[in-house]
Amino acid sequence: MADSSSDEGGFSEQAWDFYRDRTDWKDVTPVPQNDGPNAVVQISYSDKFRDVYDYFRAILQRNEMSERAFNLTTDAAVLNPANYTVWYYRRLLLKDLGKNIYDELKYIEEVIEDHPKNYQVWHHRRVLVEWLQDPSQELSMTKKILSSDAKNYHAWQHRQWTIREFEIWEGELDFIESLLVDDVRNNSAWNQRYFVINNTVKYTGDVVQRELRYTFQQILKAINNESSWNYLKGILMVQDTLNIKEVVDFVMDLYENKKNRSPYLLSFMVDLYEDQLQKKPSDSPIILHKALQLCNQLADETDTIRKEFWNFMARSLAEKFSAESNQGDPQGDSNKDENQAS
């Protein structure tokens, strides 16, 4: 059994045919890594890594466009798939050698499956799709990656780019809903829902009503799910107000049941009251009192990990809206004068 410590990229040094020993590479002088005389951190490269990258630097300096150079980039990518220069040079070789880009697309899919959170491999794939102007495999490929990690940022980014670049919006909401059925807490799926609607039908009146009903249903499935509460805030911000009757009724009904008083509900209600205070209603002191009570409840009971934040929110609301209330309150001014006189 080979020593696992000598394995890199799936092949062992024992079985490795070093480039320095290959007869077809005798004409190339390897270029060693130069970290300078006073490297802050001296990296201990394996013999195999040094061998591959010494020869990669050599062909890079020569600007060699050949089949052996192309094969060398494959070995270099195995050892370090995050190396930008390797992928850039490989793309130059793909063009110069007239390689089949669909073969490369298949290859990079296999690399992505092994390194799904590597930016460079996803970028390489995007360039290939741009060259081909063929997005036919991208949604199924990203779906496969997301089936293993439903919140993979790179997969979502690539999927969004594909959909927007090639106008493939149809069926995306159905895909999102299937993900939310599996996991209503999937914040990436909620973000994708907003992305799709905002780039297609927009959040018009009818769409907002539909989305409110949908989001209410999802919140009731998991009161402590921050993702659905954030989505609710997001769609209402499009309307530039949180004070929609259906929303007020919904949150107040939840609040009546003490079991439902999650930190996300209370936080949403603070936003709701602040939105109401912005409109300077006649009952501002009462609304402000309710908002401050909620901030105190969040700080002391429900969301103690963010105690300082909620104390700050309470001070800010009190300073801003108490002052505004007093400015328009003759009684408040007279009380102030009496205090000064005494």
Structure tokens at 77: 């990518």
First to last CA, the chain: 93
- Which is catalytic among the residues 95, 106, 117, 336? 117
- Nearest CA to 189 among 221, 215, 151, 226? 151
CA 65 vs CA 69, 105, 234: distances in Å: 6, 20, 51
Q: What burial class does residue 46 get, using C-beta atoms within 10 Å of its C-beta: 0-12 exposed, 13-18 middle, 19+ buried?
A: middle
Check if 117 is active-site. Answer: yes
Closest CA to 154 of 119, 179, 104, 185: 119
Please report the sign of the dihedral spanned by the C-alpha atoms of residue 326, residue 327, residue 331, residue 336.
positive
92-100 contact pairs (CB < 8 A, 24+): 92/65, 93/65, 93/69, 94/70, 96/65, 97/65, 97/66, 97/67, 97/70, 99/70
Report the alpha-carbon distance of residue 105 to residue 18 in Å, rounded.
28
Eight-state DSSP code of residue 13: G
Please give the Cα distance from 265 to 267 (Å, whole number): 5
Instruction: Catalogue the active-site residues.
Output: 117
